Copies of this chain bind each other. A is one copy, B any other.
């Protein structure tokens, strides 16, 4: 095995990576994921969204606020001063995730360390919030496909998930 877990030191204990020697650079990360639900629940979210936007509006704010708490939730993450994090939702009408709501989060920072955990955390909590808001209609909803889509800046440069254009 040539790879290594960057948070684990030679003796196997959990460690924060010291980012003190890294320069401040502009970094952007995009993450995405979906929640699949019954037609009934989906219709209620869509309708609830049409006049007042509260299901997705609540999930958006929950995701943005969670991104700001990433360093408080993920033990080895650095506390970061985000430039911004925002979330978009779309309804997936076809393909693997037809009947799903997709959440896509974009986070950015001018800093020493990557911002992908903030984007992934934002997506995760936004989807968990949708579950909470719609669970009276469908307890069997499933959250899937949470992943990093794209990453710019830092040592690893531009990275894009396979199969995403």
Contacts and interface: CB of A to CB of B under 8 A. Distances in A.
Interface string A22-60: 000010000001000000110111011001111101101
Contacts of A128: 73-74, 117, 120-121, 124, 146
A104 to B, nearest CB: 13
Nearest to A28: B20
Given A74-B62, A75-B65, A79-B81, A5 B143 contact: no
Given A108-B18, A145-B144, A136 B66 contact: no
Interface in A93-124: 108-112, 116-117, 120-121, 124
A100 to B, nearest CB: 12
A64 B62 CA distance: 12
Q: Kindly state the interface size class of chain A when it binds its partner.
A: 35 or more
Given A13-B60, A78-B83, A124-B125, 10 more contacts: A5-B136, A8-B54, A11-B52, A14-B64, A14-B133, A16-B85, A20-B108, A62-B73, A117-B128, A124-B124
Interface of A: 1-8, 11-20, 26, 33, 40-41, 43-45, 47-48, 51-55, 57-58, 60-62, 64-66, 68-69, 71-86, 88, 108-112, 116-117, 120-121, 124-125, 127-129, 131-137, 139-148, 151, 156, 159, 161-162
13 contacts: A1-B40, A3-B44, A3-B137, A5-B136, A8-B52, A16-B85, A57-B58, A61-B61, A74-B128, A76-B133, A83-B112, A117-B132, A142-B147
